[in-house]
Amino acid sequence: MSEDAGLSAQAGSKSLGKKRGNAIVLTDLNTEEAPPPRTYCGIAELDRVLGGGMVAASATLVGGDPGIGKSTLLLQAAAAFARSGVKTIYVSGEEATAQVRLRAQRLELGDAPVQLAAATNLRDILTTLETEKPGLAIIDSIQTMWSDQVDSAPGSVSQVRAAAHELTAFAKRRGISVVLVGHVTKEGQIAGPRVVEHMVDTVLYFEGERGHQFRILRSVKNRFGAADEIGVFEMTGRGLQEVTNPSALFLSERGTPQPGSAVFAGIEGTRPVLVEFQALVAPTPHSQPRRSVVGWDGSRLAMILAVLESRCGIPFAGLDVYLNVAGGLKVTEPAADLAVAAALLSAREDSALPEAAVVFGEISLSGGLRPAPQTENRLKEAQKLGFTTAIAPSGGKARASSGMTMSQMPDLTSFVGEIFGAG
């Protein structure tokens, strides 16, 4: 930057900046500055969630339930980064190096040039990092690390905070990327990853339903890329395999359309993903009907039920309502509203939705419908998976080029009338 002799004004303001402290006027900043260097590990699902590979000297937190597969994922990542030329050290505070090596062999990574260390004392780890000077250090897990400067047990809030702070500060100073693994813990017991979230550049959560074989890596914060990006993996005996076409996976158990089922054409981060919403609506034996949701927001469900009742005159009082996202994905997009309403109505009326149709659109409290962003991407994905019709709000930017038939609805009442006849 300073060699940039042509920018004399900038050089001038720099010396000014020195006199006034370190503040720089925004317009004086060199916008041509190169983006931070990144390394791709070759596991495309991971590289994308990171925002396009690992940024040098960045700090990343990977959180998740115990047993969800974090150590497996990160050992695979360590091997991949090491193979792509990054000096990588994997520090386990939970397993002996022999155990980690066995795991690596099981994952067929025995020959990857990863350095392994078993340590929990922060001072030892910093010394190791100081002498080894790796490009990437993985700390599994932050809850097992302890600093002798802090007078409490490993896993306590003050230890986790101190360890994370020291590791990230040290790594930034020395240009090392660090990945901290954090177990999500039952509230109140020991410190979970939330304590660390604000100290790192990127926060990823590894999620999945226990009964299901696939896992989702989701970015909830990313200083270097889009939040809400997901990577999809399948668990196998040989570790995690990438799922390059998640829509096909999420819809794989679906046969002919059943009442209560609606396929939502969603967007997760930068990628379109189709998922099936399943609803069951049945008379309740209880005085208070049940509302049960898996994979979606419970209060959003209450809102949709209220809108259906007060704007379209379709009561759900006296009916139990169960709503489920098939496959264990957590959907957060407001555009899922219309798919949820479709699944609920289809279940209530015991009438299947049109075959080969996808649904998307946001519902407002007035019963109006709002077009969803990235309509074109949703349509393309739906078409790729063999769908021919899209039920969506009017006014979305849908072009004929996608080859899908658009069934456009001005509001929820028209939707109910059109799809389920008069309502």
* Residue ranges in contact with ligand TYD by CB under 6 A: 64, 66-72, 235-237, 239-240
**Whole-angstrom distance, CA of residue 179 vs CA of residue 192:** 15
199 binds, among ligand TYD, Mg ion, none (CB under 5 to 8 A by kind): none
Q: Which residue, judged by CB position, is nearest to ligand TYD in the bound state? A: 69
* Max Cα distance, the chain (Å): 80
Taking the complex as a whole, how short is the minimal distance between the CB of residue 101 and Mg ion, in angstroms? Answer: 15
CA-closest candidate to residue 142, choices 76, 230, 70, 207: 70
Cβ proximity to Mg ion: between 140 and 337 the closer is 140
Cβ proximity to Mg ion: between 95 and 228 the closer is 95
Task: State the DSSP code for 16.
Answer: H
Taking the complex as a whole, how short is the minimal distance between the CB of residue 179 and ligand TYD, in angstroms? Answer: 13
**Structure token digits, residue 171:** 């790594």
* Strands of the 291-294 sheet, one edge to the other: 291-294, 319-325, 271-283, 261-268, 357-359, 389-393, 405-409
Taking the complex as a whole, how short is the minimal distance between the CB of residue 89 and Mg ion, in angstroms? Answer: 17
Cβ proximity to ligand TYD: between 63 and 260 the closer is 63
Q: Which residue, judged by CB position, is nearest to Mg ion in the bound state? A: 71
142 binds, among ligand TYD, Mg ion, none (CB under 5 to 8 A by kind): none
Cβ proximity to Mg ion: between 77 and 416 the closer is 77
Give 264's strand partners: 275, 359
Cβ proximity to Mg ion: between 68 and 404 the closer is 68
Strands (E), 103-229: 115-118, 136-140, 177-183, 202-207, 214-222
**Whole-angstrom distance, CA of residue 323 vs CA of residue 279:** 5
Cβ proximity to Mg ion: between 71 and 374 the closer is 71
Helical segments of 206-267, H only: 246-250
43 binds, among Mg ion, ligand TYD, none (CB under 5 to 8 A by kind): none
Please say whether the beta carbons of 224 and 55 come within 8 A: yes
- Contacting residues toward Mg ion, per CB under 5 A: 71
To the nearest 5 percent, what fractions of the chain are helix, strand and coil?
35, 25, 40
Taking the complex as a whole, how short is the minimal distance between the CB of residue 94 and Mg ion, in angstroms? Answer: 6
Cβ proximity to ligand TYD: between 70 and 300 the closer is 70
Cβ proximity to Mg ion: between 68 and 385 the closer is 68
**Whole-angstrom distance, CA of residue 131 vs CA of residue 357:** 59
**Whole-angstrom distance, CA of residue 239 vs CA of residue 267:** 27
Taking the complex as a whole, how short is the minimal distance between the CB of residue 121 and ligand TYD, in angstroms? Answer: 21
Tokens 């193979």 belong to 83
Q: Is 98 helix (H, G, I), strand (E, B) or coil?
A: helix
